[in-house]
Amino acid sequence: MIKRIFLFLSLVLATQLNAQNKPNILWIITDDQRADALACFNEATTGSKESTLGYVLSPNIDAFAKEGVLFSNAYCNSPACAPSRASMHTGKYPHHSGIYGFEQTHNVATHYNPLVPEVLREQGYNTARMGKIGVRVFEWGPGLTWNDPNLYNVVVDTKNNLQKNGFTDYYPNTIYNKKLGPGKQEVWHYPDGSKLSYYTDRKGADLTEEDKVVKKKFDQEQDILRAYTRSQTNMILGGESPQSASKTIDARICQSFQNYLSNANKSYTSVDGRKLEGPKTSEPQFIHLGHHFPHSPVLPPKSFRDRFKGKVYNIPEFDKSELEKLPKQLQSLYSKMKVDAMNYDEKQQLIRDYYAFCAFGDSLIGESIKAFKNYCQSNQQEYLIILACGDHGWHLGENGISAKFGPYDKSNHTTVIAVSSDKKKFPEGKVVDDYVEFVDFAPTFFAAANMDISNQAYAYLDGFNLADIISGKQKPRAYVLGEMNHVYGGRAYIRSKDFAFSMRVRESNAKPSVKTMGKDIKWAMETTPEKAEMALYDLRVDANEQTNVAYKKEYKALAEFLRKKLGNIVLGDGRVECDWKKENEWTRSEFALGADDKTLKIPTKIIPKK
């Protein structure tokens, strides 16, 4: 009997020690947040807390950055929510995961590797998600389904658990009618519990006069600024939330996170009334905190919007002559997302409300980080916090647009901050200027969990452990990569310190199918330069990417060099194209294995003088 008790106690102690050897991990991701929305980023890169446009406010994240490492050259691997978040969760570039846009993907194709939370759960982590995930990976039926593959043990989802149940300020409702098809509503919630709704689209029928009147009145009352292009007429780019700050969707996400942490080792009732299990202190925690801000609708609450009243911003320079040198894909992006026709006051509001929304989010992130550190410290557990400020960037008039989706710096440049209780790996107050990419998150988490990422089982990972980049153990990469197929078709980019190059990668705009995948794979490298729709910016003299020089005589050799380099990487170095409507139909091209060597040895003779 005594031996059994001793054995039991030994097992319990061993489990606890094993848990303590693995830090709790908090992964925070904001949505559509550009790098310069943070004063700490601006100060690290320019010496001024203001962005090039003007005033920003981020005291909580600024203080957080001083506790660890700020990566000033962090880039997403796809400038759109779903493919960017897929690269984060898979640890693979789009051309290796086969996820290029907003296609509905699944977990059955044999090229699929387990996602970050799945891997960490196998390592003994309890996994929880609060807010948005945005990764469109679902269970196979057989056939396509919308079933969640249960990546996380505990979930409080932005839409399904919060917005649908009224714990929000805004809900984009879709109503299905058998005769008319899906209609779209905007539903708004007020502090007194009342709500307002109206249709913005009645499929198969015109909007009613009541819809138009109610919408117009709401826009006036909340100072709503909407996009004006045909493709995004109802997109809200500015305004004031009708809800109090503590009841907005982002506040509810924050409250859900705090509620979870404060109920360790017991069941509790979630914000939306479900019975959930709090964290077990005997298990290491991996928690994904996915915020909505500053994604459209850009609606800072009044308490934060008032702090930005009277602020005057530098409006980004844009001249329509820039369009003449752009390929058709990027002209299409402009036509769908343009804002240059806005008047001066509207452009000021566009910028002011965006930064105010980011400032509001900063306050919530400060609360969440404090709660997480308190949980770890009260349980005497180590921790790692990775903050990705933006799943990609956002334009506030640069290149004539208010959007993401482009191969430009403003679409792809974000800020990453890493703070750990282990100051040897993540020292305080350090700024790292080496390139980091979103594919670096997975290996960083795995290494933190004491996994041997050099093991062949993890050879599929495309990124580096951030701790190795900090220490200098990992040789700096010379470029960052990205690709997307959304809005204007497939386009890939490669960016170095001096040059930014992008091109069309497939002749058709369609996603891969059994009829097209893997076929004519070298098209982008063999077609004419004009059909490849190249864009090249000389960042040495054109940091704002306003003049495409890909077809200028003195840059033609350089453009061809970069076309070959990029093409070999994204088309020939293990490119996966998958028909996600099928169970297991995919191809992998290998005509240039090893092309992604992280070096960019451009012959000096083809580099034009400044």
Tens of pLDDT, residues 353-364: 999 999 999 999
Based on the domain organization, do 266 and 334 belong to the same domain? yes
Whether 81 contacts 134, CB under 8 Å: yes
Whether 118 contacts 125, CB under 8 Å: no
Q: Among 471, 498, 520, where does a domain finish?
A: 471
Residue 3 pLDDT grade (very low, low, confident, very high; cuts 50, 70, 90): very low
Instruction: In whole angstroms, give the CA distance from residue 327 to residue 332.
Output: 9
Give pLDDT tens digits for 208-242.
Answer: 999 999 999 999 999 999 999 877 778 999 999 99
The region, left, alpha or beta by phi > 0 then psi within -120 to 50, assigned to residue 208 is beta
User: For residue 498, what is the domain's CATH number?
Assistant: 3.30.1120
83 inside domain? yes
Does position 14 have pLDDT exceeding 70, yes or no? no
pLDDT at 180: 59
Does position 1 have pLDDT exceeding 50, yes or no? no
Q: Average pLDDT, stretch 475-492?
A: 97
pLDDT at 262: 98
70 inside domain? yes
7 inside domain? no
Q: Among 421, 437, 471, where does a domain finish?
A: 471
Instruction: In whole angstroms, give the CA distance from residue 4 to residue 2.
Output: 5
Residue 20 pLDDT grade (very low, low, confident, very high; cuts 50, 70, 90): low
Integer CA distances (angstroms), 505 to 337, 407, 509, 547, 575, in order:
22, 13, 9, 21, 11
Based on the domain organization, do 324 and 425 belong to the same domain? yes
Q: What are 191's two structure tokens?
A: 């502090």
Residue 181 pLDDT grade (very low, low, confident, very high; cuts 50, 70, 90): low
Question: Comparing 429 with 177, which gets the higher pLDDT?
Answer: 429
Cα dihedral 154, 157, 163, 164, rounded to 10, equals: -70
Give pLDDT tens digits for 273-296.
Answer: 999 999 999 999 999 999 999 999
Based on the domain organization, do 76 and 152 belong to the same domain? yes
Burial readout 213-236 (b: 16 or more C-beta within 10 A, e: otherwise): ebbeebeeebebbbbebeebeebb
Q: Are strands 170-177 and 430-437 parallel, antiparallel or unpaired?
A: unpaired
Q: What are 329's two structure tokens?
A: 């894909």
Based on the domain organization, do 491 and 355 belong to the same domain? no
Radius of gyration of the chain (CA): 24
Does position 167 have pLDDT exceeding 70, yes or no? yes
Provide φ and ψ at 305, rounded to 5°: -60, -35
This prediction's pTM:
0.95
Q: Average pLDDT, stretch 506-529?
A: 97
3 inside domain? no
Q: What is the DSSP string of 491-521?
A: EEEEE-SSEEEEEE-SSSSSPP-TTTTTTTT
Based on the domain organization, do 198 and 84 belong to the same domain? no
pLDDT at 52: 98
Q: Which residues are CB-contacts of 49 (< 8 A; sequence separation ≥ 6)? A: 39, 42, 43, 56
Based on the domain organization, do 285 and 396 belong to the same domain? yes
Q: Average pLDDT, stretch 421-441?
A: 98
Based on the domain organization, do 370 and 263 belong to the same domain? yes
Integer CA distances (angstroms), 520 to 357, 502, 505, 506, 517, in order:
45, 19, 11, 9, 9
Burial readout 315-324 (b: 16 or more C-beta within 10 A, e: otherwise): bbebeeebbe
Specify the amino acid at residue 366: G
pLDDT at 440: 98
* 185: β partners: 173, 199
516 inside domain? yes
Instruction: In whole angstroms, give the CA distance from residue 126 to residue 284.
Output: 6
Instruction: In whole angstroms, give the CA distance from residue 286 to residue 273.
Output: 23
Instruction: In whole angstroms, give the CA distance from residue 337 to residue 448.
Output: 40
Q: Which residues are CB-contacts of 599 (< 8 A; sequence separation ≥ 6)? A: 478
Number of domains the chain contains: 3
Based on the domain organization, do 421 and 457 belong to the same domain? yes
Does position 390 have pLDDT exceeding 90, yes or no? yes
Does position 6 have pLDDT exceeding 90, yes or no? no
Q: Among 206, 240, 274, where does a domain finish?
A: 240
Cα–chain center distance at 487: 17
Q: What is the DSSP string of 282-339?
A: TS-EEEEEE--TTSSS----HHHHGGGTT---PPPP--GGGGGGS-HHHHHHHHHHB-
Q: What is the DSSP string of 548-565?
A: --TTSGGGHHHHHHHHHH
Q: Coil, helix or strand for 173?
A: strand
Domain that holds residue 255: 20-158+250-471
Based on the domain organization, do 213 and 278 belong to the same domain? no
Residue 35 pLDDT grade (very low, low, confident, very high; cuts 50, 70, 90): very high
pLDDT at 345: 98
Instruction: In whole angstroms, give the CA distance from residue 393 to residue 99.
Output: 19
Provide φ and ψ at 359, rounded to 5°: -65, -40
Range with the poorest average pLDDT among 20-29, 346-355, 433-442, 453-462: 20-29
Based on the domain organization, do 405 and 486 belong to the same domain? no
101 inside domain? yes
5 inside domain? no
Counting Cα atoms < 13 Å in the Cβ hemisphere of 286 gives: 25
User: For residue 385, what is the domain's CATH number?
Assistant: 3.40.720.10
| Nearest CA among 196, 156, 202 for reference residue 177 | 202
Place of tokens 């601006």: 42
9 inside domain? no
Based on the domain organization, do 519 and 421 belong to the same domain? no
Give pLDDT tens digits for 329-341.
Answer: 999 999 999 999 9
pLDDT at 10: 41
Q: Which residues are CB-contacts of 303 (< 8 A; sequence separation ≥ 6)? A: 244, 245
Based on the domain organization, do 300 and 349 belong to the same domain? yes
